[in-house]
Amino acid sequence: MGEHPSPGPAVAACAEAERIEELEPEAEERPPAEDCDPGNTGFISTGKFRSLLDSHSSKLDPHKREVLLALADSHANGQICYQDFVNLMSNKRSNSFRQAILQGNRRLCSKALLEEKGLNLSQRLIRHVAYETLPREIDRKWYYDSYTCCPPPWFMITVTLLEVAFFLYNGVSLGQFVLQVTHPRYLKNSLVYHPQLRAQAWRYLTYIFMHAGIEHLGLNVVLQLLVGVPLEMVHGATRIGLVYVAGVVAGSLAVSVADMTAPVVGSSGGVYALVSAHLANIVMNWSGMKCQFKLLRMAVALICMSMEFGRAVWLRFHPSAYPPCPHPSFVAHLGGVAVGITLGVVVLRNYEQRLQDQSLWWIFVAMYTVFVLFAVFWNIFAYTLLDLKLPPPP
């Protein structure tokens, strides 16, 4: 990546705030409240704050000290919340500390990131990704200053390459690339989810590497690269991978509950989880999102998703190439959407904040866990209790 324009002290602090754990573990002892806040006002003066930093300077990384000084500089009223200071001395990550740094940056540097001049190609790409995914200018600046492409967006790229590789291998072995799913031997692949083989737990996940045809794979790959890669660049592989895999598992489990006789193929559960989360985040932060032609692009995305969903519905009820087993189900798409507008939205709305601190995150995690447990028990008992006649194994 090229060199960025030289930032001010609060901008540099803003860029590194996420990587700061404030104080080293050995400095966890907090000063007595009567020394820092003798009047019991709940605040500590910036002068006292600076003197404490000087006294602990030997225990602090020099860069951490610079950021803490930026915190003092960001408070024009000369006071810092004492509880924030206690959190720092206790080695706790504090959202209010981050917000104080950002407030200081907002006052010292009001120029929008979009107005920056003289950027090279990689810097313009990072700025473009920031405006595509983040609704607040202060977060966009923070991301632009801190992104290093290390690690790169490996998760979505790896998944996409594996899907393409499996598709090409399957196409060569079957001698068919368009509507592969209509080939009589298609379901014999050990990656496909099949209701008769639902006890083979890996199939609830590995079905993403099998696609109905090149028309199915093509749209999923395009959406994964155009939506998934920028989201991973901003939110990281862990969070985006979590949303993607949760959508995949929810998709196959939803089919096993709502379309019990049908197999499942394709990565649409994970793709629809990411795209639905991204679109919902844009709608919920409409005024803050500054991506170009956002209404037109949302319309195009919804049309593409609707066409893919319509293709899946048509295929599901088209006369099967391997009766009595029907063609793959479309319900996995709906499972992915459900994950996207719940777990996915919470992830995308909390950039650089700990998800475990968000009550809504735990509510949706609990809902997802209940659904998974329900689906597991459903798969164990319901097929027998309902005396459902399933298609024979492939």
β-bridge partners, 264? 193
3-state secondary structure of 102: helix
Pairing of strands 43-45, 79-81: antiparallel
119, two tokens: 């950027």
The more confidently predicted of residues 82 and 260 is 260
Of the pLDDT bands very low, low, confident and very high (cuts 50, 70, 90), residue 4 is very low
Does position 33 have pLDDT exceeding 60, yes or no? Answer: no
List, for residues 281-292, the tens digit of each pLDDT value.
998 888 888 877
List, for residues 217-260, the tens digit of each pLDDT value.
999 999 999 999 999 999 999 999 999 999 999 999 999 999 99
- Sorted by where each begins, the domain ranges of the chain are 32-92, 154-386
Q: Name which CATH class applies to 154-386.
A: mainly alpha
The more confidently predicted of residues 356 and 3 is 356
Residues assigned a catalytic role:
268, 333
Given the candidates 1.10.10, 3.40.50, 1.10.238, 3.60.21, the CATH classification of the domain at 32-92 is 1.10.238
Question: What is the predicted pLDDT for the residue at 315?
Answer: 92
Percent of the chain exceeding pLDDT 70 equals 73
Q: What is the C-alpha separation between 228 and 366, in angstroms, rounded?
A: 25
3-state secondary structure of 176: coil
List, for residues 147-185, the tens digit of each pLDDT value.
888 889 999 999 999 999 999 999 999 999 988 888 888
- Taking each helix axis as running N to C, give the angle between helix 95-108 and helix 9-16, from 0 to 180 degrees, rounded to the nearest 10: 150
The more confidently predicted of residues 21 and 374 is 374
236, two tokens: 């990281």
Contact 321, 183 (CB under 8 A): yes
CA distances from 172 to 161, 168, 177, 180, 212 (A): 17, 6, 8, 11, 14
Nearest to 195 by CA among 249, 137, 252: 252
Nearest to 142 by CA among 107, 106, 118, 115: 106
Q: What is the C-alpha separation between 237 and 220, in angstroms, rounded?
A: 18
123, two tokens: 């810097």
Q: What is the C-alpha separation between 68 and 80, in angstroms, rounded?
A: 11
Does position 378 have pLDDT exceeding 70, yes or no? Answer: yes
Contacts of 238 (CB under 8 A, 6+ apart): none
Contact 261, 213 (CB under 8 A): no
Nearest to 354 by CA among 238, 194, 225: 238
Q: What is the C-alpha separation between 261 and 171, in angstroms, rounded?
A: 25
Contact 52, 22 (CB under 8 A): no
CA distances from 171 to 164, 175, 185, 194 (A): 10, 6, 11, 20
Say what the pTM is: 0.75
Question: Is the torsion defined by CA of 70, 74, 79, 82 positive or negative?
Answer: negative
